[in-house]
Structure 1
Amino acid sequence: MKVVSRIINVVLVIVVLCSLVAAIGSAITKEPMLLTVIRSNSMHPVWERGDMVIIENLKEEKTIHKEDIIFFKTEEGSLSKQGWIAHRVMSGSREEGFITKGDANKYTDQSSDGTVPIKQEWVAGKAITIGETPIVIPKIGYLSLWAEKFQSNPLLIPVIALVLAGLIAFGEIKFTKKRKKKSQGMELQLIYIVGGLTIAVIMGGTMLTSGQNLGLAYQVSDKSQGVIMGSDVGILKVGDKVSRPLSELSNNGAFPLIGTINTSDKQIELSHERVILSKGEQIKSTYTVKAEIPGKYESSIRVGLFYPFLPASLIYFLSEQSYWLALVSVSLVPGLPLMVYPFVNGKMRRKTAKLLRRKKRKIQSSLPF
């Protein structure tokens, strides 16, 4: 039974870690990364919804071959609203674009209304294969698919946190008497610490996916205006002032959210820098570029939504220093009581200190000097 229990624990840890890598990595890069979850059955029987696939992220100079399974997002046609798609390359080239098709589909993607051959720059990666078989981890992606519900119902987060804390407390009450002193070690302390970290990671992951990082390239000229491909602003003449929509902040949860918008570019003015969103509230934000100093600019605007686990003024201050500092600080708050408890509880603290001293003496005695 002990062996079976350990195997189950290892499997659960792998599932959670893979899901976190897929969710958080994709949230940061805004594209499939290393591990990605399959959301449809269009490639059956190669893989199915809920499977997780290991992918290789492609750079533009990488060659794409026929029969490769690529991950792409179209910007034209009826498929442009479906997000990232994983289909097989049937034909094509870098210059002409690629014709793609799901193995379970009768027709190619380009048979859809307005869908053109897939351009190389639309491709984020391809499935890693052994021979001709992709590396697929069956069904463990369902945890990530389920976790996506957090974005539309933030109330689930504190509920899960309370459930985790309750399970840990229940486990301590029920099994403490049954544990032998020799086998206890730091097991209970680690349960508290890992439980707190798990809550923090879940919190951070959901706040990260609700945020946005907008890259903004533009140029300021002394002489004339112009257009830059991929830029909503383009080339501005000194003295020009241009406003554009930025993001729509919304709160579909049951309690307030704290929103922050930051940029280090002094020529960009933001319509909203600090907001508190009540239940059901939506705010449309904009940015304004005031062309003052000639030059080329690669700026970014970071939009963040945070749970109100810290005072709004403190979250604003932290986000001005760094978005990541604010994210980590807010994420740690709900899990902090669990992580700190082993060091606050006198009996547990003494056991931990005693065990650490024993381990230290053991290590010192084994050293050759």
Structure 2
Amino acid sequence: MKIFGRIVNTLLAIVILCTLISAVGSAISKEPVLLTVISSNSMYPIWQRGDMVIIDNLNEKEEVHKGDIVFFKTEEGSLSSNGWIAHRVLEGSASQGFITKGDANDYPDQSSDGTNPIERGEISGRAFTIGETPIVIPKLGYLSLWAEEYQKSPYTLPGIALILAVIIGIGELRSGKQRRKKTKGVELQLIYMIGGLTIAIIMGATMLASGQKLNLVYEVTEQNQGVLMGSSVGILKVGDEVSKPLSELNNGGALKLIGAITTDDTQIKLSHNNFPLSSGQQIDTTFTVNAKTPGKYDTSIQVGLFYPFLPSAFIYYLAEKSYWLALVVVSLIPGLPLIIYPMVDGKMRRSTIKFLKRKKRNLQNAIPF
């Protein structure tokens, strides 16, 4: 039974780790990474709603073949509101686009109004298979689907994480000395540290998912205005001033958030920089380009929403230095007590130091000098 328990715990730890990696990776890249949850029965009987599947993420040069189950997102047609979709490729090519269809659907996706063949750039990955069989973890994604119903609140996942941390803490306190005696080495220290890091990762992933980055390409000349392909601003004449909408920010949570919008481009003026976003509040943000210096510009505007774990002025100061710096620092705050507790508690600290010294001696003895 002990061996079986260890196997179950190991598998559970692997699933949790992969899920965290997937959540963070998806938040960063804005596309499914490593794992995703099936939200419909359009690929029945291969997949069903609630199944978790493994993704083989593709780079731009990898080919897509007939029969592949691909993950794509289109901006046109009736499928544009469905987000990421997993359907099978019936035919097509990278140059002409691909015809796709859910195995349980009667007609191809391109039979829908306004849905064109799927371009290669709209495909992020395909189902990971052994032979021709996709790998699936049945029904493990139902918790995620449940959470999606409440994802308008940015506090859902952090709330779940904190509840789990409280449950773990209560269990530890109730076990008392008996559990401490059974815990060997630095297992208890690792529980605290991993718990704190897990909370930090979940916090960071949710803040990252709510953040946005606008890449802006434009040109300033001393002569005429013009249109620049792929640019919402275009070519401006020195002295021109152009305002454009940036982002619509909503707070569906119970507590206020801290907004921080930053850019390194001195010709861009933002309607909002450092501001609170109260519960239920909506803010429409804009940016204005003041054309002063001739040249071609490839700049970015970073929009961040942060939990109010630090003073807003300090969060904005960090965001001005680096959005990632602000994200990491704010994410660590709620998990920091668990992370540092093993070094504050004298007994744990001494146990950890002894453990590290023992491992160091073993390493020195194993490596000849």
TM-score higher than 0.5 here?
A: yes
Over 3 Å counting, the alpha-carbon distance change for 1:150 and 1:261 in structure 2 is farther
* 1:216 pairs with 2:216: yes
1:122 is the counterpart of 2:122: yes
Identity of aligned residues (%): 65
Query: Offset of 1:121 from its aligned partner?
Result: 2.5
Q: Which residue does the alignment assign to 1:38?
A: 38
The one-letter code sitting in structure 1 at the alignment partner of 2:37 is V
Q: How does 1:259-274 map to 2 (within 5 A)?
A: 259-274=259-274
Where does residue 239 of structure 1 map in the other structure? 239
What letter is aligned with 2:141? G
Structure-2 change in CA distance of 1:361 and 1:76 (3 Å): closer
Name the residue aligned to 1:306: 306
1:192 is matched with 192
User: What is the CA-CA distance between 1:228 and the residue it aligns to?
Assistant: 2.9
More off after superposition, 52-61 vs 76-85: 52-61
SS at match of 2:200: helix
Distance of 2:365 and 2:130 partners within structure 1:
48
- Point out where structure 1 has 5 or more consecutive residues left out of the alignment: none
Would the alpha carbon gap of residues 21 and 368 (structure 1) be closer, same or farther in structure 2, given more than 3 Å must change?
closer
Q: Does the 8 Å contact 2:158/2:202 carry over to 1?
A: no
Q: Which runs of 5+ in 2 are unaligned?
A: none
Given the superposition, is the C-alpha separation of residues 130 and 295 from structure 1 closer, same or farther in structure 2, using an over 3 Å criterion? farther
C-alpha RMSD of matched pairs (Å): 2.2
Q: Is the 8 A contact 1:220 1:238 kept in 2?
A: yes
| In structure 2, distance between residues paired with 1:160 and 1:306 | 18
Bigger Cα displacement from structure 2, 107-116 vs 293-302 = 293-302
Aligned positions, number: 369
SS in structure 1 at match of 2:201: helix
Structure 1 residues 297 and 363: CA distance shift in structure 2, 3 A? same
Q: CA deviation at 1:312?
A: 1.0
Distance 1:365 1:295, change over 3 A: same
> Contact conserved, 1:164 with 1:195, CA < 8 A, in 2?
no
CA contact (8 A) 1:168 1:192 kept: no
Q: 1:366 to 1:147 in 2, by over 3 A?
A: same
Partners of 1:368 and 1:354 in 2: CA distance: 23
1:286 aligned partner, one-letter code: T
Secondary structure in 2 matching 1:178: helix
CA-CA distance at 1:245 after TM superposition: 0.7
1:313 is paired with a residue whose SS is helix
Question: 2: distance between equivalents of 1:81 and 1:168?
Answer: 39
Please say if residues 168 and 191 of structure 1, whose CA atoms lie closer than 8 Å, have aligned partners that are also in contact: no
CA distance in 2, matches of 1:357, 1:59: 44
* CA shift in 2, pair 1:354/1:181, >3 Å: farther
Structure 2 distance, partners of 1:315, 1:117, is: 44
> Is the Cα–Cα contact under 8 Å of residues 19 and 141 in structure 1 kept in the other structure?
no
Report the 3-state secondary structure (helix = DSSP H, G, I; strand = E; otherwise coil) of the residue aligned with 1:177.
helix
List per-residue Cα deviations over 1:53-105 (Å, max 9, x = no partner): 33333444443322222222222211111111111111223333221111110
